[in-house]
Structure formats: structure tokens, C-alpha cells
Structure 1
Amino acid sequence: MKLTKKINLLKMRGLGCGMMRGMTLLELTVVIMVLLALISVLFVGAQAWKRGSDRALCIINIQQVQKGVRSFSNLYGHSPGEGVPGLQMRVIGLGKFVESSPSCPSAGSYTYGPTFGADTIPPVGEVYLKCSLATSGHVPSNVADW
């Protein structure tokens, strides 16, 4: 008698032989909400990663052009602050110090020689290339020895 009573009690609770308990609508909604929250965190993280990688690539572009200008001035005996007609064309292009004209990956625009002019070798500590997104971090942190 006791065994039959326990089996009947289990069947009433839905835990009897062969009966599987499903998820209620509320439980299913909670699971979907948690998954959506995790996916949104993933998208926010990916977007932040993309902004950071674009910023780093922009700084690398500025650095490469700066190295090209310094290499040109050292090779041809020009000193910082000296004017060189067509400096940009002599540094950037196929077979030159920088192979192609750089472009900002975040759709910013570059200005050549923003402080001293496009045809002037910048003094040490000044960059030759400036991004329009400098306020968004598209600027090297330390250019004192550039």
C-alpha cells in the first residue's frame, strides 16, 4: 500500500514514470532574456574592440609617414624646419618611403604639415600628419622624440 501511495504522489507532481517536465513560458522567457543580454554585451565589446583597433591603425599610419619624412630628410641632407618643395610627393608614392597614401580606418581625413606647412620638414617633436579625429584618440601619446 505504501508503494502505491508513493507512485500516485509522484504522478500527481508530474515526476512519474515516463512523464517529462517541460519549461514553462516564464522560464523560457527568462532564458531568452539572458541570452539576449549576453549577445548585446558581445556586440558592445566587439564595437569597442573595433574602435580601438581603428585608433591604433591610424596612429601607425601617422608613425609610418613620420618615419618616411625623417628618412627622406636624413638621406637628402635636409634639416628639421627646412622647406622642401613637394615634400609629400617625394615621400609618399610607389617606390618611395611610404608606398601608398594613408587613409584613416575610421573615415577621418589626414592633414599634411598642419603646423608648419606641407612642404616643411617638421621639427623634432612635431608630427607631419594629423588626423581629423584627434579628439577621438587618433593621436600618438608621446611624440617628443619623433
Structure 2
Amino acid sequence: MSTKSAPDTAQLEPIASGSIVVGHDGSVDAQRSLEHAFELADKLGAPLCVVRTWSIDTAPHGTLVDFGIVSSFAQVSDKVCALLEAESKAAAEKHPSVGVAYRSAFGHPAEILLALSGEARMLVVGSRGLGGFRSVLLGSVSERCVRHAECPVLVVRPKKARD
């Protein structure tokens, strides 16, 4: 019997139907995925939703406890969203016609992205995130999204280093 629970998608505001949804974990590869998602949304005239998930372990430093006061999940999500918006600013400025929404959710990235895939036009994910196994060809989040999403999935490969 599995003790795994479904993601708490009640914490997520609904996305605009037909949005391009991009997962962003703060990595360089995620930034590349974000740029591709903005370009795609601009060309298709689609809204864009940028999503970051977090956990107790991955919440930005100083967001869980501030001056000895424990933050609520909503407060942490707001701080994560603000950070996500700041990290997306340069890409957003290149595509001013794209309507952008930012979402932050407590949970596993694949579960949250899959929950959003039902309303999405497309998911955009990096091939590898911050998971660490550089030898793996496709990261666990991107693989789960490719296999289980209810919409098409674009997997953005990392930029190759030039010799």
C-alpha cells in the first residue's frame, strides 16, 4: 500500500486555459527553458505560466524563519514567487506582449506540473535540473512529464559547452 499522497493542487491558483507552463527550479538549464517558453508563447500568442515548487529543504534561505518567527506556507510561497519573478525579469522584458503568471507550490515538481498539464497547451521543462545525476540523459521530472502529461511536452536540452 502506497503512503504517497496526491499533490495539494488546491494551493495553486488556476492557470489560464491554453497556457504554456514552464517549470523553473533556479538552475541555468531552467533559465534556458524559460527563454524558450517565452519565445514560444510570444509566437503563439499564448499566456505563459512560470512555476516553481518548493519543499522544506529547498525553500530559499531565510524564508521559513524570519527573526525567530516561523513563516506560513502561504508566506513562503509568496517569497518564492517574488524570487521567481525577479529571476524571470530579463526574459519577460524581451517579450512584453506575453501575459505572464507566476505560481509557487509546495510539493514535488513533477506532480505539480502534471496537475497543471490538464489546462496547459504545453509544458516546457529542462532535461536536467538540480537533481545532480549529470550522467542521466533525462531527469526524473522531465521524464515523468513526458510520460504522463495531458498535453505536449517540450524538453529543452542544456547548451553544449564549446571546446
TM-score (norm 2): 0.26
More helix by share: 1
TM-score (norm 1): 0.28
Structure of higher RCO (CA pairs closer than 8 Å, 6+ residues apart):
2
More strand by share: 2
